[in-house]
Amino acid sequence: MSGRRPIRFLTAAAAADLVQDGQTLAVGGSGGGLLEPDALLAALGRRFRETGSPRGLDLVHTTGIGDREGGGMDHLAQRGLVRSVVAGNWGMAPAMSAMAVAGEFEAYNFPQGVMSQLFREIAAGRPGVVTHVGLGTFCDPRVEAGRLNDVSPQTRVEVVELAGREWLFYPAFDLDVCFIRGTTADERGNLSFEQEGARLEMLAIAQATHNRGGIVVAQVKNVAKAGTLDPRLVVVPGICVDVVVHHPSQRQVVTHEYNPAFSGEVRAAVSTLPPFALDARKVVARRALAEISPGDVVNLGVGIADGIASVAAEEGRLDEFTTTIEQGAVGGIPARGVIFGVATNPEAILDQPAQFDFYDGGGLDIAFLGFAQVDAVGNVNVSKFGSRVVGTGGFVDISQNAGTVVFCGTFTAGGLDVRVGGGELSILAEGRHPKFVPAVTQVTFSARESVARGQRVRYVTERAVFDLTAGGLRLLEVAPGVDVRRDVVEHLPFPVLVEDVKTMEPEYFQ
């Protein structure tokens, strides 16, 4: 649809009334309240509880949206409201995830980068995303097609042949409404992001929805007079916006009303950041940090890997390499926990699709990611365990394309008790849940594809370090104080190559 439409300023409830039965709603935002249109989601959830409408929505979102405590997409986790959900991550909205696993609606999980790029393709009128990302993983239609339950048809992704090789094709779709967020809107609907810690794909979602004839609804903290915004801070132009919702109590993220070091307006003193306690997680972070070479461009994933930058800051090594996170930050120290997605003291904040373009083309020297399961051939699962679906997030995009991948995690989980100190590790009690298993529940990282690419892969735990070979795992190092047979090999349900095993540096344990 062409032509500039007049901007309407509405309440969150009035904006939620614009969503009709059976429509496709795209929602921008990331976990922990980052760029989350929280007032709009709450209003839509409240409308359904009170009126039973709108029904049968098709929901689309790129990252996990929520706080794991009922916020975000969990406002919409109501029977009858949802017909289908396509998402890059599910872990921040456990109620919605549980409904997906129970088969209450069609549900899909595709790579976060693919999802962000897909909005850009829709905006441009192209048929979808053609990419190598997802080959050999659960997103591949020859594996699970990204489906999270049996009621979901295998129609959302295809294998295609192009230029002499295989690719995955993720088709475009129509958009009727989108909920996005910025910091300030002027009277012409221009949106600036001066207090935000990311830009995500807000521009792409707005352009895609507008160009498909849909309604673009933007939540903002401030409203300004037309012509007063700095054009360099405007991320979404008013020509792509239809409705503005003023939400003065909007928080930057769920843990902070506003931290100017997240949005780059102030550079915080690194000495003010909380220290990292000496435990198994810190040991893993210290050993993983040793894999970085000066000048490397690094990705740090959510979970145990996000502590690597904190350790580097403590040890005065932060200036030796450049961190990145998939939500778009370049440089700085990524935040840990529920607000992963922002960074303290970023050097640049990119649109998320552009960050993934860089990743997909091989821009990362090394990536550090968590793991829930590793199997006999080296496959990794981070997306599904038991009946719980977390989703891939940016894991597939990043793990497939970095020159080196270091998977970080404890050797077992669920009650693991270790003592760290004096230059060694003592195992007091094993965790109840083995993380090295005969076969992973879901293939989020394909070892076969990795070996074929010649990728360098390490698996770092608090007691042992392995690498990936064409024949499976090889044990490289064990912690001081740890017995190779008793504490490592006898706990593995599959054989590993054991020869010339070295001892990890004692300094990691003191």
Question: Bridge partners of 373?
Answer: 381
Name residue 162's beta-bridge partners: 165
3-state secondary structure of 67: coil
Contact yes or no for 400/362 (Cβ under 8 A): no
| From 36, 144, 326, 477, the catalytic residue | 326
Q: Which residues pair with 282 in a beta bridge?
A: none
pTM of the entire structure?
Answer: 0.95
Residue recorded with tokens 């706080």: 67
Q: Give the dihedral sign, CA 303/308/310/314.
A: positive
Give residue 275's pLDDT.
Answer: 77
Q: Closest Cα to residue 350, out of 193, 211, 130?
A: 193
Q: Hey, what are 265's tokens?
A: 């307006």
In 3-state terms, what secondary structure has residue 420? strand
Token pair in block for residue 105: 């609606």
Rounded CA separation 92/72 (Å): 8
Find, among 46, 63, 53, the residue nearest to 23 by Cα.
53
178 vs 447: CA distance, rounded Å: 37
Dihedral angle at the C-alpha atoms of 443, 447, 448, 449, nearest 10 degrees? 90
DSSP structure class, residue 379: -
CA distances from 99 to 78, 153, 154, 277, 413 (A): 9, 17, 19, 37, 26
Which helix (H) or strand (E) element contains residue 109?
Answer: strand 106-109
Q: Is 265 a catalytic residue?
A: no
Q: Is there a contact between 334 and 318 (Cβ–Cβ < 8 Å)?
A: no
SS3 of residue 47 by DSSP: helix
d(CA 81, CA 66) in angstroms, rounded, equals 18
All domains in the chain, ordered by first residue: 18-246 (3.40.1080.10), 280-509 (3.40.1080.10)
Q: What is the pLDDT, as a whole number, of residue 501?
A: 97
Q: What is the pLDDT of residue 185?
A: 98
- Could you please report the per-residue DSSP string of 205-257? HHHHHHHTT-EEEEEESEEE-TT-S-GGGEEE-GGG--EEEE-TT--SBTTBS
- Assign 3-class secondary structure to 433-487: EECECCCCCCCCECHHHHHHHCCEEEEECCCEEEEEECCEEEEEEECCCCCHHHH
pLDDT tens by residue, the chain, 510 residues: 456 778 999 999 999 999 999 999 999 999 999 999 999 999 999 999 999 999 999 999 999 999 999 999 999 999 999 999 999 999 999 999 999 999 999 999 999 999 999 999 999 999 999 999 999 999 999 999 999 999 999 889 999 999 999 999 999 999 999 999 999 999 999 999 999 999 999 999 999 999 999 999 999 999 999 999 999 999 999 999 999 999 999 999 999 999 999 999 999 987 777 778 899 999 999 999 999 999 999 999 888 887 898 899 889 999 999 999 999 999 999 998 899 999 999 999 999 999 999 999 999 999 999 999 999 999 999 999 877 889 999 999 999 999 999 999 999 999 999 999 999 999 999 999 999 999 999 999 999 999 999 999 999 999 999 999 999 999 999 999 999 999 999 999 999 999 999 999 999 999
